[in-house]
Amino acid sequence: MTTILQSILLWLLYLSSFYAFIPSLISRFFGFRVFRRGKSDTQFALTFDDGPDPHYTPRLLDLLRQYQAKATFFVVGEHAASHPELIQRIHDEGHLIGIHNYIHKTNWLMRPRTVRDQIQRTGQIIHEVTGVKTCYYRPPWGIMNLFDFFSKKERKIVLWSSMFEDWRSRVGAQRLTERMLKELRGGEVMLLHDRGTTLGADAHAPEQMLQALEVVLQEAERLGLQSVRVDTLMGGITVSESQNKNQPQTTLKLWKRLVVALWLGWEKLFHWVYHLRTASPEDPMLHFRSRVYHGARMEMSDGHVIQNGDPVIELHFDNQKLFELGVTSRSSMHLAIRMIRTMEQQLPDLARMVALEPELRSAKAIYGVSMINRGPEKFGFTIQDLPPGPFSAASKVYLKLLLSVIHPAGTKRLKQRTEQLVPKMIAMPLDVLLERYGQHTTQVAATVEESRDGSLLIEKELLPEQN
């Protein structure tokens, strides 16, 4: 019995070696079916695995933009699905996005079909967000299996020529910097990580990676070395070519063009009659006006209350901007992400204006109406139903009509999500606005008296929820 068991274990060892260990060994040392190093004397590639991460990835992108460096991000599908706005930002800022499986699990422990499904699922998420299909793939821990050797030729497997154990906090920023500088040369493909939540990694390790990377980018600039995307190092297509191929082309029907013309004309008249102001004049999206609140008592989750007769600020979206975003978006998710990013960019401007002007600070609330039941909580908003009545009914008809015009899925979307398209009010306390979005105006915010009974209500018309 012992002999039989030993024989079975021996055969399992042979099979696992044949399935994954030997293929990984061959690819790692001989470069068979993989890309590991470029031939350029002046360009190198920074690659980042395991993200995106809501804390570290934005800081990494800021750092890359500061030094005009391009990089490649091999993303984990489940993280990409949770943070599509980061995937969109990575793409918009000119970086390459590759696949790192849907979950961070070695190919050694998965069947070929499971690996294929993981790759396809992650690729679909990337495509839905960016409109671009990716063919670049890096298996977790660089472990390939036998079937990776016989995968479709259009899938480009990318490994690395140098790694630095940046996933371990004990390495330390100084030693990590020394290791990276030692390998800084043309053609190098550097392996780094912008997330520390995978097995064997330290959650705060990306912090020291960011410190080391800044020094490396400074030295690369001094040496005349340029950080580029992996496809550039390989001789692939450029960003502009990729974007041009995937630019959505939208032709509106006659009735939609008429609705848009009336809609935009009404907005101009509304702005003129009510003297609307703009939070970000250089990129008009958020407009507002001061007025007195007339409506039912509104109580938010944190205890702030808005009552009939309170001074308020009414916030509106720019119709022209909404229309442009809608007709040029590739999907519901793409439209949602673009609107979320616009809000993130312009809410600080609104906070600055509120902090600067006593009249705005004296208002008890800023308010508006939304057709979307999910999503605004990420900004710090509280959602509340509109009281039934003529205003609620009219808002529902009006916003549904506009959604059918500007939404990428049009009337098809309305039929699928009718139960969710109900006008609602969205609220945020004023002190939360200043705390969350006033970081760009610290000096101004410091002069503002605390307003513990203030609140913010913001209109987020037509923002599709993320599925």
Over the stretch 274-332, which tens digit does the pLDDT of each residue have?
Answer: 888 888 887 788 888 888 888 778 887 677 888 888 888 888 877 777 767 766 666 66
Burial of 150 (0-12, 13-18, 19+ CB in 10 A): exposed
CA pseudo-torsion sign 446, 448, 450, 454? negative
**Residue 49: active-site member:** yes
CA dist 464 and 335 (Å) reads 7
CA dist 364 and 415 (Å) reads 38
pTM (predicted TM-score): 0.57
pLDDT of residue 418: 46
pLDDT band at 259 (very low <50, low <70, confident <90, very high): low
Phi (first) and psi of residue 41, to 5 degrees: -90, -15
User: Would you tell me how many other CB atoms lie within 10 Å of the CB of residue 439?
Assistant: 11
Selecting among 104, 193, 287, 334, the annotated active-site residue is 193
Most confident of 345-354, 382-391, 427-436: 345-354
Judge whether residue 413 has pLDDT over 50: no
pLDDT of residue 293: 83
Over the stretch 8-62, which tens digit does the pLDDT of each residue have?
Answer: 444 444 444 444 444 444 444 444 567 888 988 899 999 999 999 999 999 999 9
When the pLDDT of each residue in the chain is averaged and rounded to a whole number, the result is 76
Over the stretch 432-444, which tens digit does the pLDDT of each residue have?
Answer: 777 788 764 433 3
Residue predicted with more confidence, 455 or 1: 1
- The SS3 call for residue 98 is strand
Judge whether residue 243 has pLDDT over 50: no
DSSP letters, 198-233, are: STT--TTHHHHHHHHHHHHHHHHHHHT-EEE-HHHH
CA dist 399 and 319 (Å) reads 12
pLDDT of residue 13: 42
Q: Give the pair of three-digit tokens for residue 318.
A: 């720019």
pLDDT of residue 100: 93
Structural contact between residues 194 and 90, judged by C-beta atoms closer than 8 angstroms:
no
Residue predicted with more confidence, 408 or 167: 167
Structural contact between residues 394 and 371, judged by C-beta atoms closer than 8 angstroms:
no
Q: Which residues contact 116 (CB under 8 A, 6 or more apart)?
A: none
**Residue 53: active-site member:** no
Domains of the chain as residue ranges with CATH: 16-245 (3.20.20.370), 254-457 (no CATH)
